[in-house]
Structure 1
């Protein structure tokens, strides 16, 4: 269906039920709020039906109720689009309005290509008014009922009811329609309203005056025009009797359609009624109020004897005027062309069209209108495409932001996104952790490279989850080395506790990662140190958040001088967490390369009386001198110097 239908349904739901219901409707119908609601686009009926069903499911109305509500609302939607004046000029009463709806649809079809509107016809029988509705879409007739009842109320001030009398489905009018519904119209209440005002009233008065003059002239035989003069003045007219035999025809029509001049020619053997959908018979034409209807006659594809037509006559548009005194009907028409292209492809020229006829003006205006519609259609499509691109750009921006936040702390990343320079920053007290895999070099030499990649991916994904759990910033990884920091860039008092918990969890998680060589759980060394650092962003193409200072180097030494499967901490870290409730083991003085003798500790776990609130305040930390000290007297276990591996060279930024 046309985009107007989708737009009207959207407006109706938003106005009556709100945005939340509309979003639920879109989700259920799997429709896009931009691409499926463009004014000059034509959508498959399946989309429209799915939209109607979704509205029904989310509003509590049955499908017929949704369609009838749509019909009522469509009147107000049409008036908001500027069609109210056009609607008010279709007829002086409800009967003639319905009769002329097909004319309105035929004019709109010039602009809205692909329209397949319903066909309407009125019938008066036994003092009752019946409206026939023919449609290609079975089950859609409630929309027509809603629209017509609203028109009767708003334009003619009459409250009516339309009751379905019969409903027939199947092949109707040469398979063009598949449903025929007959409704009986009953007047419930009439009101006096000013249906016409201003220019509309002047137009109504003018039309009624002309009709009265014609009726008076016909009744009193005021005008008597010779047949030859009439055929010249009305070059595309044709007169036929009640048996459909042609009595006379206009000069141009005779030229274009030679069959008309044949003796005994019947009008319904040469032409068929294209619109409105009805049988081309004398009684059928007389039964409807044909003076208010436009008829479209088109040459038949084949004549009665099965041969192709001998003429190249265009489609004719005009009125059927009953000549009751002779039991004849005169069709007064003119060639009908949708565009200049149709005119060029025919054998008709502008000189064949009467100059006082509006066909040329309508045709030229339609060309301009069609160009405007195409431009509007392209604009709609461009707007929808731009919205798509904007949404895609927003998604890519989110992905970029996520990547940036993974590379840099949120505070620093936001500064870079805003185009601000990130200045180097001093941090008085932070805690840094280093870890690496024991015998990783030997393992890498004996394994396939893909096994090493899988191992590191598995291990580091587990560690990354721990950084989220403990709200710790991951600085970087190089090879099997993993570096994290707490207290940067946002200062926090519990940085040492968070890092201690991180180290214990890392040791625990290695029990789930298998060495591809030995098929046993891998082991890691973990080293932690607390102290001051300077942070900053280095580089522009690939910006990196780096830490500088002796604290970085000391934390690396804690890891390299540690033992497999143990968390090795410095005395500054120990001083911060000693009262919290961790299980700590004094290792004693260890000869740290480049540092001399340092008191260090092993963090073995958490005791039952663990209480993070007992953390030592930063100002109370016992600052440990990095100057070499003499080894103190200790138990043999404490004085036995561990096997210290040579600290591996690292590209982690530090100041030695």
Structure 2
């Protein structure tokens, strides 16, 4: 059950009381929803359990949903069946413009009466009239019994009196309650004005007759002779014309009055105007209206801005509690808003952190194999791994030393960057791992760190792509394409991470040395193969020619080979370029 449901169920003990207190509930909700524009309801009681409901609203056309709402409330809250019919619809001119005024005829009958009536449908009118007369006679007897309580013998205790009333009526004590009023009001004028420091009494012409002490304090001159209330105040809610007729129409509404700034002392005009919230009560015997009110304040800040104190509000006035409770609520709302702002800031920071983390991981994975990088991130030691067979490639730029001697360093950097960028792209095309670059030397491996059977073919295709890419890089001295030497060898290696600072994934073993010798003993613009590399590529769709036997430093005589081309792949496939579709003839 929601909080609003409980609030609605406690508005009144019957449907009439419920409707009469709806405006008060709307005024309370307006504290939290200041833009709320609620309708107003006024009940006019008639005979024969008939009630006239007056509905006022700034928004036309919504009156047709009122019967459904009221009928549901009557059935759910008060076990009563209600029928509603529209008697009159009109537009009335108020301060905010045309206000819709709809009068409903409300006839209600309890479910108990409905259930009792069902079996008697076939009885004639005489039987029904007889039942009604019996009911009225029983009610008169109960009333007489209750009225006799005041003259009952003193011997009876208070409990016996109450018990006799309840037992006679066989119902709830509230149902038999009749209020008793004193012959005269036992309170002095001074005491009343102090006990209710915020109240105003005015007549039909709005002339002020009486005011509480604190209203006089904060609205000086209010009790000057023949002062009209509308000279010092304007009606904020409900938005109606300030006259006695309009006030009577909305007598069930909470009225909010605002002090006119121009009537305030000069020193007070800079502070917020005083607002009062309360109930209008018409006193028929004296022809006057009394406005029982309190300052309309929502927080201690508003209290301080108006130079007021909690002591200015009567101890019995719940406005004190409302200010303190609402101050606590505002503090909780502000704390909640701060938490929401911090949550949003954290969300943005988390998003930025994820982007930066992605950049960091991309950079890290460019330097180390992914599985190695993940182990290092987790603080684990990376064990060296032995690979039974892989293919290693080395390359360098022909006459690089001479180029460096004749050029500015920035020209060398630009040349190497252009060349290495093209080579790096090819590593992704052929899925080989770039181990390192030192100066003009470029080293890659196939089959490490992830073993794969086609490692030799991948490295061979990469080498052919390097040779094509090198033709697109110009020598800063001559303006001609640079030339590279490439050497390839296949064999076993040991691979692992060395060092704590700037760790590198390195390869160890004689296979590395042999591959380097193939590069250094190669020829410009040629891909030099060792015997084991030739064996791995033989009959794999490559054109290879024998170079012959040569002397290799530290290795002795070796029969080596040159890789010419891939017999089954085009240049576009080697370079990883998008292939154009062949022209179709219709």
TM-score (norm 1): 0.64
CA distance in 2, matches of 1:563, 1:510: 15
1:586 aligns to 2:575 (yes or no): no
Partner deviation per Cα, 1:43-91 (whole Å, 9 max, x = no partner): xxxxxxxxxxxxxxxxxxxxxxxxxxxxxxxxxxxx76x5443455457
Q: Which entry has the higher C-alpha Rg, 1 or 2?
A: 2
Q: Work out which of the residue numbers 112, 119, 124 in structure 1 matches 2:37.
A: 119
SS, match of residue 501 in structure 1: helix
CA distance in 1, matches of 2:98, 2:241: 14
CA distance in 1, matches of 2:109, 2:365: 69
Match of 1:574 in 2: 534
2:487–2:520: 8 Å Cα contact kept in structure 1?
yes
Match of 1:18 in 2: none
The alpha-carbon distance between structure 1 residues 345 and 435, as it changes in their structure 2 partners (threshold 3 A), is same
Match of 1:20 in 2: none
Partner deviation per Cα, 1:181-211 (whole Å, 9 max, x = no partner): 9698999xx9999xxxxxxxxxxxxxxx999
Match of 1:512 in 2: 472
CA distance in 1, matches of 2:444, 2:83: 78
Deviation at 1:512, TM superposition (A): 2.5
1:160–1:186: 8 Å Cα contact kept in structure 2?
no
CA distance in 1, matches of 2:67, 2:408: 80
SS, match of residue 495 in structure 2: strand
Deviation at 1:146, TM superposition (A): 13
Deviation at 1:347, TM superposition (A): 4.5
1:527 aligns to 2:491 (yes or no): no
SS, match of residue 262 in structure 1: coil
Q: Work out which of the residue numbers 78, 99, 103 in structure 1 matches 2:27.
A: 103
Match of 1:329 in 2: 289
Match of 2:436 in 1: 476
CA distance in 2, matches of 1:309, 1:264: 24
TM-score (norm 2): 0.71
Match of 2:213 in 1: 251
Match of 1:379 in 2: 339
SS, match of residue 605 in structure 1: strand
CA distance in 2, matches of 1:131, 1:340: 34
The alpha-carbon distance between structure 1 residues 395 and 312, as it changes in their structure 2 partners (threshold 3 A), is closer
SS, match of residue 597 in structure 1: strand
Q: Work out which of the residue numbers 502, 517, 527 in structure 2 matches 1:557.
A: 517
Deviates more, 1:456-465 or 1:492-501: 456-465
CA distance in 2, matches of 1:146, 1:552: 91
SS, match of residue 476 in structure 2: coil
The alpha-carbon distance between structure 1 residues 221 and 438, as it changes in their structure 2 partners (threshold 3 A), is farther
2:19–2:43: 8 Å Cα contact kept in structure 1?
no
CA distance in 2, matches of 1:356, 1:582: 103
The alpha-carbon distance between structure 1 residues 484 and 221, as it changes in their structure 2 partners (threshold 3 A), is farther
Deviation at 1:436, TM superposition (A): 1.6
Gaps (5+ residues) in structure 2? 45-51, 77-81, 112-172, 571-586
The alpha-carbon distance between structure 1 residues 353 and 128, as it changes in their structure 2 partners (threshold 3 A), is closer
Number of aligned residue pairs: give it. Answer: 486
CA distance in 2, matches of 1:185, 1:446: 104
CA distance in 2, matches of 1:153, 1:346: 45
Deviates more, 1:601-610 or 1:266-275: 601-610
Match of 1:407 in 2: 367
SS, match of residue 422 in structure 1: coil
1:217–1:223: 8 Å Cα contact kept in structure 2?
no
CA distance in 2, matches of 1:150, 1:460: 80
Gaps (5+ residues) in structure 1? 1-78, 109-114, 135-140, 174-178, 194-208, 611-656
Deviation at 1:443, TM superposition (A): 2.6
CA distance in 2, matches of 1:273, 1:522: 92
Match of 2:453 in 1: 493
1:266 aligns to 2:228 (yes or no): yes
